A and B are shown apart, each in its own frame.
Chain A
Amino acid sequence: MAEEAFEPKIVGFLCRWCSYTGADLAGTSRIQYPANLAGIRVMCSGRVDPTFVVKALNDGADGVLIAGCHPGDCHYSEGNYKAMRRYPMLMNLLEQFGVERERVRLEWISASEGERFAEVVREFTEQIRSLGPLNWQENVAACCEAI
């Protein structure tokens, strides 16, 4: 009985001004990239509450990508700096849950970087594939209940 190849499920939080537009550009440029990532548009990477990431992982995502404008170029001046500050705190938390750091990525992708967006998604997908499924419910939620 052949096992189905593991297809990572990745949720992306993309900021409207830079990374979402960059992803859009990848699309209009017909750049092929894996369909493993589904994007959610927010106005700014600063809107990304760490609970979104936890919720996504809890609901079955194997990886989460947070993408915003390059530092200094945030459409709202500083939102991406706030995302940059929240990220290490989130990673510390997830590490304590036993989630590999590589599963949640913070990337800076500008509106003109369509090819780069595709490249990031390709690379990230392969990385998650090699990490394997997260199985949050079995691994993480279960031990929280045990505690």
Chain B
Amino acid sequence: MVSLTIDDKAVEVEDGATLLDAAEKLGIQIPTLCHHKALMPYGACRLCLVELQGSRGSWLEASCTYPAQEGLVVRTDTERVLRTRRMMAELLLARCPEVQAVRDIAAEMGVTQTRFPKKNEDCVLCGLCVRVCRERMGPSIVNMIHRGAGRKVGVPFDRHSETCMACGACEVVCPANCVDLSDVTDRVPQPIPLAFDEGLSNRSSIYVPFAQAVPNVPVIDADTCVHMRTGECGACQAFCEADAIDYEQEDRIEEIDVGAIIVATGFKLFDSARIKRYGYGRYDNVIHSLEFERLSHASGPTGGEVVTKDGRKPQAVAILHCIGSRDEDHHEYCSRVCCMYSLKFAHLVREKTDAEVYNLYIDIRAFGKGYEEFYKRVLGEGVHFIRGKCAEVTDVAETPEEAGKLIAIAEDTLLGITRRLPVDMVILSGGLEPAEGSEELGRKVGLNCSQGGFFLEKHPKLAPVDSMSDGIFLAGACQGPKDIPDSVAQGAAAAAGALSLIDKGKVVLEPITAQIDEERCAGCQLCIPNCPYAAIDYDEVKKVSVVTEELCKGCGTCVAGCPSGAAHQKNFEDEQIFSEIEGILVGA
């Protein structure tokens, strides 16, 4: 550790730290332009000058490069320091009078004019792009070329680089926003769409999935992270003050013994591209409901502004109900939530724009608390409700008014006419399907599926959160389309079910389990694959199969398949069933 004084305040820093680090530790602000936390100091801009005082007198040093030494006396507030820094600002301003970053730093020091003849460069020659490409990314594509007054940033031989990986770090790090990747390489950077924003915005390789993520920490996407792929960069680790980044983390599989399982795997939105006539994927301004959710949300890509793809406010919006639901070609069931969210969208569009809104519906299902009242409210807001499922969305105009618009064609069944609605945006209210991978999960956990592929409950009225298997519960949209209040209620119910099961300390079994007569069993093991619950094991020592009665559910399949009659089921013995047959037929 090294002790020194800055502005009469004592500070201790690690060996190798700079004066800038020491000042930062004391909370003393020093202006910088070419400094970057993840890069080696460069000392190009000279804005961070401080005055060192010693026996020989005092002199100026760039605090970003000068190492802290024991007993140094540093001043950042003397007239000499401030005057010199202002001169540096004037020089920068003379070279780049239009660069906002330079103007901001100069303004902070009270410098708005420069006495020097002005050029009009946009590059500040801070070297950040050069340094990030060399120190962090590795290939060192952009470099300083020429000397003296002609010094500038360029690429070798002024030719587009083949090795540049278009990571865009040079563009991102430039304070003057004057790096253009298309000058460096022919490669085009591939933006990484943010899944939570339905691809409407992009993200970096290290990102927080969404604001309510649990745990609410960033995650590194190993497929795109430069460090994970090439071993370079690692800038995030340099920035992290909590030292919380560990590149060595690996996926691991954890085995946990539990007494109950609650399956709450949710839903996925019906893929609107499956219905070609609505033009999803063909027309820019045909969007699905989750995309509109993000569009209209204050934390979304447009900050909540409802705009078309080219940034205009729509004059008319059509909201199409029942996309993929109540449809013989897709899902016959009603997805329950779409009418209400369609009403919400109509309300939001009216609130945020002056657009005309058309809801094309079959029925309005406003079944919950306050739902009918909300429907009435939306009616009062001047939203047009047209009873007729939309037949087609097209951009082929038949009249001059329709030019440049999307036309939603529907039969208005209440008026008995076909209508063409020219709109700027079409929102497809897609239905709900079980989440990706539900079928596979169901097989693993032992859940049957009912209509639509949603998990089957034990009884639709009396046991909606129990599954057919004891100890496995269902909650939420995985059991069937439902909205948030109902999902929460089911979650609580499933938790209660699970708790009451594991809390008892014992499990009640039905007395209809199967058993295998050791004497008769030939050890053929034919019963073992018959058991859906893997309740039968082969005893290698005795060379017979044995039923674990705690796992046996009493289906009797093993009994029916046993060639030697060794397996039998309590209360459903062969003899008992034979007696029943005789009772029906003999002496009848």
Interface residue ranges, A against B (CB under 8 Å): 9, 11, 38, 40, 42-44, 46-52, 55-56, 59-61, 72-79, 82, 86
Contacts and interface: CB of A to CB of B under 8 A. Distances in A.
Contacts, number: 89
Contacts of B578: 52, 55
Contacts of B577: 40, 42, 52
B553 A76 contact: yes
Contacts of B572: 42-43, 47
A73 B559 CA distance: 21
Interface of B: 446, 448-450, 456, 468, 512, 530, 532-533, 553-557, 559-561, 569, 572, 574, 577-578, 580-582, 584-586, 588
B560 A48 contact: yes
Contacts of B512: 43
A49 B559 contact: yes
A83 B308 CA distance: 58
Contact of B448 (A50, A61, A72, A82): A72
Given A60-B586, A77-B448, A46 B560 contact: yes
A114 B450 CA distance: 18
A44 B456 contact: no
The 9 closest A-B pairs by CB, nearest first: A47-B556, A46-B557, A76-B555, A44-B555, A77-B532, A49-B560, A59-B585, A60-B585, A38-B584
**Interface residue SS majority, chain A:** mixed
B586 A42 contact: no
B157 to A, nearest CB: 67
A86 B582 contact: no
20 contacts: A11-B585, A40-B580, A43-B554, A43-B555, A44-B556, A48-B560, A49-B559, A49-B560, A52-B577, A59-B586, A61-B584, A74-B448, A76-B533, A76-B553, A77-B446, A77-B532, A78-B532, A82-B560, A82-B561, A86-B560
Nearest to A52: B577
B557 A47 contact: yes
A46 to B, nearest CB: 3
A82 B557 contact: yes
Contacts of B569: 43, 47
Interface centre among B560, B574, B577 (most CB of A within 10 A): B560
Given A49-B574, A79-B532, A82-B530, A11 B581 contact: yes
A68 to B, nearest CB: 11
Contacts of A46: 530, 555-557, 560
Contacts of A38: 584
Contacts of B574: 49, 51-52
A79 B585 contact: no
Contacts of B553: 76
Nearest to A70: B448
A47 B560 contact: yes
Given A52-B581, A78-B532, A43 B556 contact: yes
B549 to A, nearest CB: 15
B455 to A, nearest CB: 12
Contacts of A9: 584-585, 588
B581 A72 contact: no
Nearest to B562: A49
A40 B584 contact: yes
Given A47-B560, A56-B581, A59-B582, 9 more contacts: A40-B580, A46-B560, A60-B585, A60-B586, A61-B581, A73-B448, A76-B553, A76-B557, A77-B448
A146 to B, nearest CB: 24
A46 B560 CA distance: 7
Contacts of B580: 40
A82 B217 CA distance: 50
A40 B557 contact: no
B352 to A, nearest CB: 46
Nearest to A59: B585
A11 B584 contact: yes
B555 A79 contact: yes
Contacts of A56: 581, 584-585
Contacts of A52: 574, 577-578, 581
Nearest to B468: A75
Given A43-B512, A47-B569, A78 B586 contact: no
A84 to B, nearest CB: 12
A51 B578 CA distance: 9
A52 B580 CA distance: 10
B468 to A, nearest CB: 6
Contacts of B584: 9, 11, 38, 40, 56, 61
Nearest to A56: B581
Contacts of B586: 59-60
Contacts of B532: 74, 76-79
Contacts of A50: 560
A38 B557 CA distance: 22
A9 B555 CA distance: 27
A47 B559 contact: yes
Contacts of B556: 42-44, 46-47, 79
A38 B584 CA distance: 7
A61 B557 contact: no
